[in-house]
Structure 1
Amino acid sequence: MDMIEPLVSIAVDLTAAMSAKDRYERLLSAMAKFLPYDAAALMRVDGDLLVPVAARGLIPDAMGRQFARSTHPRLDIICNSDEPVRFPADNTLPDPFDGLLSADAGALSHIHACLGCPLRVNNALIGVLTADAFDPKAFDDMDPRFLKAMGALAGAQMQTANLIDALEKSAERQGQIASDLMQDIHLRQGTQILGGSSVMEHLRREIDLVARSDFTVLVLGETGVGKELVVRAIHAASNRKEAPLLYLNCAALPETLAESEMFGHTRGSFTGASRDRAGKFELANEGTLFLDEIGELPLSVQPKLLRAIQEGEIQRVGSDMTSRVDVRLLAATNRNLEQEVESKRFRADLFHRLNVYPLNVPALRMRKEDIPLLAGHFCERIQRRLGLGPVRINPDSYETMTQYDWPGNVRELENVISRAVLKASFDVTRGDPVVIYPSHLGGDFVSAHLSERPQPPEEKTVFTKDFSFNDAVRALKIRMIQKAIDKNNGNWAAAARDLNMHRSNLHNLAKRLGLKN
């Protein structure tokens, strides 16, 4: 095989004008011409974490994870090496991508062939390139010098993307690891705005557009969709990002203290005012003020907020003096403010001042294709928090989750995943894989889905259009396993022999089908 051509292709791309996403996709594509991998991933370094920026052959939830070097020894070995690393097929260290390969999703047997290249520029580690294969000898014939050259070019690609993005952003940010895709990953990971669905891509474009302005933004959406994260993303991409972002929850303000919290007060202006105190508007001067739950703001304070927005002037409680402030205002609510205006609970003039640029954050039921990405992110986070081994989600659990309407949105999903990981890890030896099955997701949540799911047909039942081919195959597998188990009085080893399967394969299949925990 001519191995020079792919390297030339990677080198030529270094000078081509393209987005970081396209740059990384072309890199992995060129690698596939000479490296027989089943899965490959490109990850950037973020402190102790490795964050995927591009991958091939991995299930979607892998892109929502962050891989800590401290809990993934293979990745740590690669990061500490100056040369490409090939792990022996009999290496017992857990592979970070066990259970995440799309060709065998959920399988937790160790991947047989694994190699990794540290990506360094000027001796500084900026990323890692990994490749995995089921064939234990897949990488045996690779020349180490060739792998080192590939790693050097891959590092140069990543650095090129970094420099291009840094130049586009501003001179002060040159050298940061932030390319088009990396910028997107950083935005989504840093503010946890995860999702590749069309509605989330649209939301990110809207954030990028309005962030550059000084417009007042009204962020709308149901409880738990991530409105505060959208606000933080707007501030982080704005010209005021170096100034403070201050937060004020209007729902938590007693009416008697709301004005003081916003605009400050003078000593003796009311009982308990023992000293002068600046309000949030003064503290946020030249920065950004986030008013959460703006729909709960008392009517008595709304005229003064309107004046602050219109004139840029505030007045402390108990003072005759006014002062000017330069504050960008971001607000959020889960209420329908137009209805609140009609009901005389919110001032119409204030609503129109706030509604300069409305942003609607979609509910989770409108972007269910993002559930694997979000679930993978939450699994990785709870895994690190609890000090567990690799956490994987059974395919049946994904099916269950996509059938649910998620009234609590992303916040509910995070809670469900956190509880499920805790339940699934109850009788698992520390360090062993933890697998989430539908039974771990919760009572009412699971039962609501199971009541709508087509039941497996009997052997002589006529299949209807509501019963898919995959459902039929799954039902047949369940029936055959149950018959073999019943025939052998619950002896799984004997049942495996009857089914002409290895016992461990039968156990893994039974778990994926929900027959075993």
Structure 2
Amino acid sequence: MTTSHILNAVIPLVADLAQDLSERERLRRLLAALRNLLPADAVALLRLEGEWLRPMAIDGLVPDTLGRRFRLAEHPRFAQLLAAGQAMRFAPDSPLPDPYDGLVAQHGPLQVHDCMGCVLQLGGLPWGLLTLDALEPGRFADPASLAMLQAFSNLAAATVATAERVHQLAQLAREAGTQAGHAAAPQRELLGQSPAMRQLQRDIALVAASELSVLITGETGTGKELVAQAVHAQSGRSEKPLVSINCAALPDNLVESELFGHVRGAFTGALSERSGKFEQAHQGTLFLDEVGELSLPVQAKLLRVLQSGQLQRLGSDREHHVDVRVIAATNRDLAEEVRAGRMRADFYHRLNVYPLAVPSLRERDSDVLLLAGYFLEENRSRLQLGGLRLDAAAQSALLTHGWPGNVRELEHLISRAVLKALSQGGSGARPRMVTLGADDLWDAGVQQAGAASAMAASIALPGAVELPAPQAPVAGLREAIAAYEHGLVSASLARHHGSWAAAARELQLDRANLQRLAKRLGIQR
């Protein structure tokens, strides 16, 4: 490799350090430059978070990799790279399993045969890893490759530091005029890079810094509880408790006791005095899940607490003052509940100070594979498998499904599919690599119904041609779905004179995802 080649790859990155770029674009350019320098089939940037590594950017790996979380104890190659503290290469015959086996986004062998990586240091501490993988043995055999990666890591660290600084400044700008506390991460992340999720994350950051009550709405299975956790974690109350209560799971005769507490003898079985959820959440946050299930009398008593912070335990006349931020969630249309007389208007407006609408998975098409990757890695870790991946047909099936059950449906679907795939291998030793196909996800009837539902929904696109009712595919469901996708994408590109951006807007896809889909379908502009 010539000096001019190296300079041509590195100089734009140095110039980028002074540019106003999004974190996503800055890291994408970093990995693109690395692939120009070194002959890798795939590169990745992973951030160290306790005992886990989280992919921040990828190039050449399947999209679901971004949703995965790699536990160091289960991935000895990553652990060795962190321990080495410098660039190192694993021999093609290394017995250590490669975390990216089956995840390189190109046809060919499933296993990675050559890989190297290095630690990124920020402020003298390990920030994460930069990894390169190749399907061909000996691709990185030249000692100069290792030296070049070590040198590149310094520029990569500067890029990462710049991206983090820009992100911190953006957070400070959003929180101007407020006192922000330490943000503790929720048990599960609120994953998503689609436009709808990015807007939701911006709204969460905005309202979290305030003391406003929040009403989270959305279909069942969209992750409303995760949104509540994120609001609390980014608020000034994050060091205090987040207390949750499922209003739908409580009998009417126990709701008041659970919320406000009770004194001894207040009712049969009340053998001692007990504080309620409001007092337990003092100076913190109370999350009222399924708030639309509360009865009108309970709503009236809750309204008094929301207005004044004063409550009385059941059976007591003594006042207790609480300082609680309330976050409520529901899958009902509460405005309609008010019109129907099932909810008090004053109670509804007291909760609905700042509404957060959680998008359905159907509105987050580009997030489906990212979320699938997260659940795949969870199942791989739980079942102690060497590798777990989706084949191309399974990825296509996930992207075309209608998702009436949203993220929860996806999570359960992946778990069932993994068990189904394992059961087909008999009672012998588990395979090192498990590949899920479309048939593992759904049986033929359910799969066809899901595809037909997605087709029917997409016909409403502006300018789309009227399609006949779907017939039983002659060549098989996978071929029928691919043919339908080919026709839809080709027609959209033709209508917009080959403009990827315009076609992506019409098809409600990210432009990069549309281009990848078109490439897989063999479509050229």
The TM-score range, normalised by the shorter chain, is 0.7 to 0.9
**Aligned-pair distance for 1:400?**
2.0
Structure 1, unmatched stretches of 5+, are 171-182, 459-463, 472-511, 513-517
Q: Which residue of 2 aligns with 1:201?
A: 198
Answer whether contact 1:246 1:280 (CA < 8 A) is retained. Answer: yes
Paired AA for residue 250 in structure 1: C
Answer whether contact 1:191 1:232 (CA < 8 A) is retained. Answer: no
Spell out the pairing of 1:91-102 with structure 2 (5 A cutoff). Answer: 91-102=94-105
Deviations 1:259-279 (A, max 9, x none): 121111222222222222111
Q: Which residue of 1 aligns with 2:149?
A: 147
Spell out the pairing of 1:3-14 with structure 2 (5 A cutoff). Answer: 3=6, 6-7=9-10, 10=13
Secondary structure of the residue aligned to 1:43 is: strand
Q: Which residue of 2 aligns with 1:393?
A: 390
**Aligned-pair distance for 1:88?**
2.7
Q: Distance in 2 between matches of 1:10 and 1:409?
A: 39
Q: Which residue of 2 aligns with 1:38?
A: 41
**Aligned-pair distance for 1:126?**
1.9
Paired AA for residue 139 in structure 1: F
Secondary structure of the residue aligned to 2:397 is: helix
Q: Which residue of 1 aligns with 2:315?
A: 318
Q: TM-score if structure 2 supplies the norm length?
A: 0.78
Q: Which residue of 2 aligns with 1:358?
A: 355
Spell out the pairing of 1:146-165 with structure 2 (5 A cutoff). Answer: 146-162=148-164, 165=167
Q: Which residue of 2 aligns with 1:328?
A: 325
Deviations 1:199-227 (A, max 9, x none): 11121111111111111111111111111
Residue 230 of structure 1: which of 209, 227, 230 is its match?
227
1:18–1:399 CA distance, 2 compared to 1 (3 A): closer
Residue 373 of structure 1: which of 370, 373, 377 is its match?
370
Q: Which residue of 2 aligns with 1:136?
A: 137
Answer whether contact 1:404 1:445 (CA < 8 A) is retained. Answer: no
**Aligned-pair distance for 1:167?**
7.2
Answer whether contact 1:227 1:332 (CA < 8 A) is retained. Answer: yes
Answer whether contact 1:218 1:354 (CA < 8 A) is retained. Answer: yes
Q: Which residue of 2 aligns with 1:84?
A: 87
**Aligned-pair distance for 1:243?**
1.2
1:465–1:128 CA distance, 2 compared to 1 (3 A): closer
Paired AA for residue 442 in structure 1: W
1:399–1:9 CA distance, 2 compared to 1 (3 A): closer
Q: Which residue of 2 aligns with 1:349?
A: 346
**Aligned-pair distance for 1:8?**
5.6
**Aligned-pair distance for 1:190?**
5.0
Deviations 1:250-294 (A, max 9, x none): 112221221121111222222222222111111211111000110
1:81–1:470 CA distance, 2 compared to 1 (3 A): farther
- The worse-fitting range, judged by mean Cα deviation, of 54-63 and 27-36 is 27-36
**Aligned-pair distance for 1:342?**
2.2
Answer whether contact 2:120 2:129 (CA < 8 A) is retained. Answer: yes
Secondary structure of the residue aligned to 1:251 is: helix
Answer whether contact 2:263 2:316 (CA < 8 A) is retained. Answer: yes
1:465–1:144 CA distance, 2 compared to 1 (3 A): closer
Pairing 1:435–2:435 present: yes
Q: Which residue of 2 aligns with 1:119?
A: 120
1:70–1:454 CA distance, 2 compared to 1 (3 A): farther
Answer whether contact 1:294 1:332 (CA < 8 A) is retained. Answer: yes
Q: Which residue of 1 aligns with 2:272?
A: 275
Pairing 1:299–2:296 present: yes
**Aligned-pair distance for 1:147?**
2.6
1:6–1:457 CA distance, 2 compared to 1 (3 A): closer
RMSD between aligned residues: 3.0
Deviations 1:164-215 (A, max 9, x none): 6567768xxxxxxxxxxxx9xx97x853322221111121111111111111
1:453–1:387 CA distance, 2 compared to 1 (3 A): farther
Paired AA for residue 445 in structure 1: V
Structure 2, unmatched stretches of 5+, are 173-182, 453-469, 477-481, 490-519, 521-525
- The worse-fitting range, judged by mean Cα deviation, of 267-276 and 404-413 is 267-276
Secondary structure of the residue aligned to 1:319 is: coil
1:222–1:153 CA distance, 2 compared to 1 (3 A): same
Q: Which residue of 2 aligns with 1:219?
A: 216
Pairing 1:27–2:24 present: no
1:133–1:55 CA distance, 2 compared to 1 (3 A): same
